Every structure is written in C-alpha cells, then in structure tokens.
Chains A and B, each alone.
Chain A
C-alpha cells in the first residue's frame, strides 16, 4: 500500500471549511484513498473514500487531483465536534487483501470557537 504524508496539525475556525491535505505520490492505479477520523477516546470512524473521481457524502467531500498524487478532505462547515485526528489511508480494495488499514500519524484538527 502506498505511503501517505499529512500535516501533523491544523486549526480551523468554527463554521468555516476545513481543508485537510494528503500526499500519496506513489499511489497505484488500483488503490483507493480512504479517510477516517478518531475523536478523542473513541474508535476510528469512516468518513469517505474514492478512486479517481471527487466524492461527496453527508460528512465531507473528497477532492482527488487528476494525477491522483494528492487529495483533500473538505469538511464544509466545521464544528467543535469535528475536532479529531484525521487519517488519510491508501490501499487496494480487493477480496484477497485481508482489508488491513495502515494508519499513519494523521492530522490533528482543532476546531476553535
């Protein structure tokens, strides 16, 4: 699975959009980009994933560059409850891969009032 690089920490004002970048320059054609987050003292929570097209769901939007070497997770209107560590993970989604997620250090997002 390709390696990802994320900033260690970011701040965002409440109500503003939070844009979390992720570099994955060695990504392969069959690897998806997944985003999870971990709110303090809780289990990780799935947010969104994509292969090459931009994706949006009720939680966030995922923008993947055309060359797929980087992506951005967008929380459109951050709230204090979005304060968490956000993990960008690249992996092959295949039946025989076992499904393991390799978590890096993630980005610690602090949403401030």
Chain B
C-alpha cells in the first residue's frame, strides 16, 4: 500500500495547456509538500501545506496553484504550461512534530512540455 502516491506518473502536453497533478498520502500526516526537480537534478521546494493551510510558497509563478481539499490530499494545478515547466514534480508528506519531521516522498510525476 503506497504511502504517498502521485498521479499521473508521466504527463506529456503542449505549451499553453493547463494540467493537474494529484497527490494523496495515507500516513495520517498533517503537512504536505511539492518539490520540483529540474534537468540539472536540483530539488527545490515549491509549496508546503499544513492542515490545508498554505505555509510555504517559494516564489513560484502564480501559474502554479496548489489545492488541498483535505489534509490527505495536495494537488498541483499548472496553467499556461511553458517549456521551462518540464521537470519531475515530487509530492511529500510529514508529521508536524519537530523531531519527527521526516518527509516521505512520492515516486514523482515526469512532466514534459512540448
């Protein structure tokens, strides 16, 4: 039973389209995250939500809009896709408790914008 699951695993789309990536965790965690890994393999935080409330927004273009319908889900919607959005997007979750802030990552969504 996958702890953090993302769908789809692969996403190929044209520039200008709008797409969504879904993430669900069954670990009972309070906090969820989106990270982006670009072609140079650097992993960078994009957003963090705690109990459906946005707590980190790392200067991501406003074409990216996260939505958390409940604390087990954090979806990422991207409007007007650009070539530079091509990357692997990872969802993660963790408990809030400080010493237990261990993040569990999903398998990633490979987005290719053509």
Contacts and interface: CB of A to CB of B under 8 A. Distances in A.
A93 B101 contact: yes
Contact of A42 (B35, B42, B58, B108): B108
Interface residues of A, number: 23
B66 interface: no
A83 to B, nearest CB: 15
A10 to B, nearest CB: 17
Interface string A80-102: 00000101000001110011111
A103 B108 contact: no
Nearest to B56: A98
Nearest to B55: A98
Contact of A43 (B31, B98, B106): B106
Interface string B21-42: 0000000000101010000011
B45 interface: yes
Contacts of B103: 36, 44, 46, 99, 101
A100 B32 CA distance: 10
Contacts of A49: 102
Contacts of A85: 41
Nearest to B40: A105
B98 A94 contact: yes
Given A93-B101, A94-B98, A100 B107 contact: no
Nearest to A47: B102
Contacts of A34: 102
Nearest to B105: A43
A19 to B, nearest CB: 23
A45 to B, nearest CB: 7
B43 to A, nearest CB: 4
Contacts of B43: 38, 44, 87, 101, 103
Nearest to A92: B98
Contacts of A87: 43
A93 B98 contact: yes
